[in-house]
Structure 1
Amino acid sequence: MAKHLFSQFPEDEQRAVVAVCSRLGFVPDDFEITDEGFQPDNGDPAPRQVSVRRPATDAQSAYDASEGQGPGWIEEFESDLECGLFGQPSGHAPA
């Protein structure tokens, strides 16, 4: 089992998360994003789970990012941001 910090994620995933956060008024640094991958012995695609936690609200969620799922976890994360799972955006509202 290998665990990676967000800074070790593929660059396209990092860019997509930053874009989603920025568009919705969040700061990516407000989140602890890690993943864990498991190497199956039978040659099947490696399962991968991404965990996202926002320490300020203690909200967290896990997403399936296994091979074949593509960046679908980012869409799920975006949906959770939009519905308020992780709390209010950290950006300042216009006056």
Structure 2
Amino acid sequence: MNEQRYIDLPVYERAAFELVCARRGFAPTHFEITGTLQMTDGTSDRLVTVRRGRWAQSYRADAATFWVRDFETDLTCNFFK
């Protein structure tokens, strides 16, 4: 398992995350973001975990899904309060 920090995420993901935060009235510094990369059977699975206070949510970050969209949905639903 390989652990990543926010700065280790691809630049396009960081830019999209920052845009979503600004659009919803937050700053990226309001959240703690970590990522994990797991190799299983020759394929890699990446999870991005976003924390704010005692609330946390993990998002699958693979080629088929873009986790920032799911994060924005959670912000819209006030998951992170």
TM class by shorter chain equals over 0.9
TM, length-normalised to structure 1:
0.80
Please list, as runs of the form range in 1=range in 2, the aligned pairs for 1:35-74 lying within 5 A after superposition: 35-40=35-40, 42-44=41-43, 46-55=44-53, 58-66=54-62, 68-70=63-65, 72-74=66-68
TM, length-normalised to structure 2:
0.93
Is the aligned partner of 1:6 residue 2:1?
no
Name the counterpart of 1:34: 34
Higher radius of gyration, 1 or 2: 1
Root-mean-square deviation (CA), in Å? Answer: 1.1
Q: Of the candidates 53, 61, 74, which is equivalent to residue 80 of structure 1? A: 74
Q: Higher strand fraction: Structure 1 or Structure 2? A: 2
**Displacement of 1:43:** 2.5
Unaligned runs of 5+ in 1: 88-95
Name the counterpart of 2:19: 19
Unaligned runs of 5+ in 2: none
3-state SS in 2 of match to 1:26: coil
